[in-house]
Amino acid sequence: MRRKRRTTPRTTRVLGALLLVAVGSLTVGAAPAPAGATPLDQVIPAPTKVTPGGSPYRITTKTRIGVDGSREVRRVGEYLAGVLRPSTGYRLPVRAGHGGDIQLRLAKGPFGAEGYRLDSGAKGVTITAARPAGLFHGVQTLRQLLPAKVEKDTVQSGPWLVAGGAVTDSPRYGWRGAMLDVSRHFFTVDQVKRYIDQLALYKVNKLHLHLSDDQGWRLAIDSWPRLTTHGGSTQVGGGPGGFYTKDDYREIVRYATSRYLEVVPEIDMPGHTNAALASYADLNCDGVAPPLYTGTDVGFSSLCVGKDRTYDFVDDVIRELAALTPGRYLHIGGDEAHSTSHEDYVTFMDRVQPIVAKYGKTVMGWHQLTGATPAKGAVAQYWGLDDTSAEEKAQVAKAAQNGTGVVLSPADRVYLDMKYTADTPLGQDWAGLVEVRRSYDWDPGDYLPGVPGSAVRGVEAPLWTETIVTSADLEYMAFPRLAGVAELGWSSAATHDWERYKVRLAAQAERWEALGISYYQSPQVPW
Which positions ≥6 away from 166 have C-beta within 8 Å?
A: 40, 50, 51, 117, 118, 119, 120
Query: Are 199 and 207 spatial neighbours (Cβ–Cβ below 8 Å)?
Result: yes
What is the rounded CA–CA span in Å between residue 322 and residue 310? 18
Active site residue 336: yes
What is the rounded CA–CA span in Å between residue 89 and residue 91? 7
Amino acid letter, residue 417 = D
Q: Which of 262, 336, 435, 466 is catalytic?
A: 336
Residue in 470, 461, 332, 370 with CA at minimum distance from that of residue 408: 461
Q: How many CB atoms lie within 10 A of CB 154?
A: 8
Which phi and psi angles does 290 have, rounded to 5°? -75, 165
Residue 274 gets which letter from DSSP?
H
Instruction: Report, in this order, helix, strand and coil percent for the chain, each rounded to 5.
Output: 35, 15, 50
Which positions ≥6 away from 286 have C-beta within 8 Å?
A: none
SS3 category, 438 = helix
Query: Are 7 and 471 spatial neighbours (Cβ–Cβ below 8 Å)?
Result: no
Q: How many CB atoms lie within 10 A of CB 238?
A: 11
What is the rounded CA–CA span in Å between residue 136 and residue 117? 11
What is the rounded CA–CA span in Å between residue 57 and residue 126? 11
SS3 category, 39 = coil
Active site residues: 336
